[in-house]
Amino acid sequence: DYVLRGTFRSGFALIRPPGHHADTHGPKGFCLLNNVAIAANYSLSKGAERVLIVDWDVHHGNGTQTTFYSNSAIMYCSIHRFDGGRFFPCGSLGSPKSVGEG
């Protein structure tokens, strides 16, 4: 809120747990709510033009990626283990070629 009101020029939030497996359809991978997605959407609703989400975790944040896949106001960067799609959450989402549409 301080950044969005102009009290501070920038902000940083270290969120744990990120809830990055939960998506708009519900909980996944032990994540009930996607806390970082809620915070990003809140920021946009309060006037932020863009939000950067940097997710570093051994697992890919599939819920966060799918939530913002076509949203050009959100840049989601995930640093995770992939192992050719054989590491949880498995599949092609999260590969180096998996980029959003927005």
Give me the numbers of helices (H) and strands (E) for the chain, helices first please: 3, 2
Q: Which of 39, 1, 42 is nearest to 20 (CA)?
A: 39
21 is a catalytic site residue: yes
User: Two tokens at 28?
Assistant: 């996944």
Active-site residue among 21, 25, 60, 80?
21
Place of tokens 């076509």: 70
Which residues participate in catalysis according to the annotation?
Answer: 21
